[in-house]
Amino acid sequence: MWIAVWFEKQGNLSINGLSISNENQGASGNGCLYNGAFGFELQASPTSTITNLTVDAAGAYGRPFKTSAARYNTFNSSTVKNAVPGLQRHQPGILFLA
């Protein structure tokens, strides 16, 4: 799995302006790239404020935006564009996991 930006265990993180594009496209078959690329992931990071986040997933395969065990966060003006529609394993757009 390849990730453009991954924040883990960052309590009270503050981001104002982050643009992600030209993600890794992934690869067919198996191995790390088979699962595609995450554009932005926030994991186990509580009470953060993320403002003006844009993920452009054009040409990429995978989840462009994901959170996992990230509670009590505030997202302002977050945008995901050009996500691949209709993938069964990798849902396009924004994915929040508890």
Please write the tens of the pLDDT for every residue from 63-89.
Answer: 788 888 899 999 999 998 888 765 545
What mean pLDDT comes out for the span 19-32?
A: 70
- Cα four-point dihedral sign 27, 54, 70, 85: negative
Closest Cα partner for 13 from 73, 66, 95?
A: 73
Q: What is the DSSP letter of 83?
A: P
What are the tens digits of pLDDT across the range 29-65?
655 555 666 789 899 999 999 999 999 988 877 778 8
35: its two tokens: 């699962």
Q: So what's the pLDDT on residue 39?
A: 85
Specify the 3-state DSSP secondary structure of 32.
helix
The CA distance from 66 to 48, in Å, is 15
Closest Cα partner for 1 from 26, 22, 20, 23?
A: 26
Q: So what's the pLDDT on residue 88?
A: 45
Q: So what's the pLDDT on residue 29?
A: 60
Q: Is the pLDDT of residue 11 over 60?
A: yes
The CA distance from 78 to 29, in Å, is 32
